[in-house]
Amino acid sequence: MNDILIREAEIADIPHIMHHRTRMYWDMGNHDEEAHRRMLLSTEAFLRDAMPRGAYRAWIAEADGRVIGGAGVTIVAWAGSPDDPAPRRGWIQNVYTEPEFRRRGLAQRLVDRVVEWCRKDGFVSVSLHASDFGRPLYEKIGFRQTNEMRLRLR
């Protein structure tokens, strides 16, 4: 995996990030093409707004000029808590590796890069939502379950 370049994403990488997001959900079993189409519309609008403002940071993995994976972090305003009084939170998103490059440590390298950036930028913690496939990797890195709950409104 040493011949793989991991670089910070740019606006021009939005199509790659959108591809990763689609494939990630597809691999988790969501095959509703209309839902994906709607998601991509909102994802593109979000990225075009958030990336220039620094509210979404991402890293892209390349091999021989081909994008083979990526990961990002969304930074949102937050009221803070006793554990972390900072007025922001980071959520790692869009962790994806093309199938033929899986099981080689690339996802861990990408997540490590995001975590390293968050640590240097002063975050106390960072969160993510783990698929069943990704959970062992995130636990290996040190992520632990929290008390988050969700109520589906629609």
For every one of its 154 residues, what pLDDT tens digit does the chain have, with 9 covering 90 and above?
A: 569 999 999 999 999 999 999 999 999 999 999 999 999 999 999 999 999 999 999 999 999 999 999 999 999 999 989 988 999 999 999 999 999 999 999 999 999 999 999 999 999 999 999 988 899 999 999 999 988 888 889 8
Domain containing residue 84: CATH number: 3.40.630.30
Q: How many domains does the chain have?
A: 1
Q: Is 12 inside any structural domain?
A: yes
Kindly tell me the burial class for residue 108, based on how many C-beta atoms sit within 10 Å of its own C-beta (0-12, 13-18, 19 or more).
Answer: middle
Closest CA to 97 of 11, 7, 14, 20: 20
Q: Which domain holds residue 41?
A: 5-141
Q: Is 148 inside any structural domain?
A: no
- Stated pTM of the model: 0.92
Contact 57, 10 (CB under 8 A): no
Q: Is 133 inside any structural domain?
A: yes
Distance CA(125)–CA(106), nearest Å, equals: 22
Q: What phi, psi does 3 have (nearest 5°)?
A: -85, 10
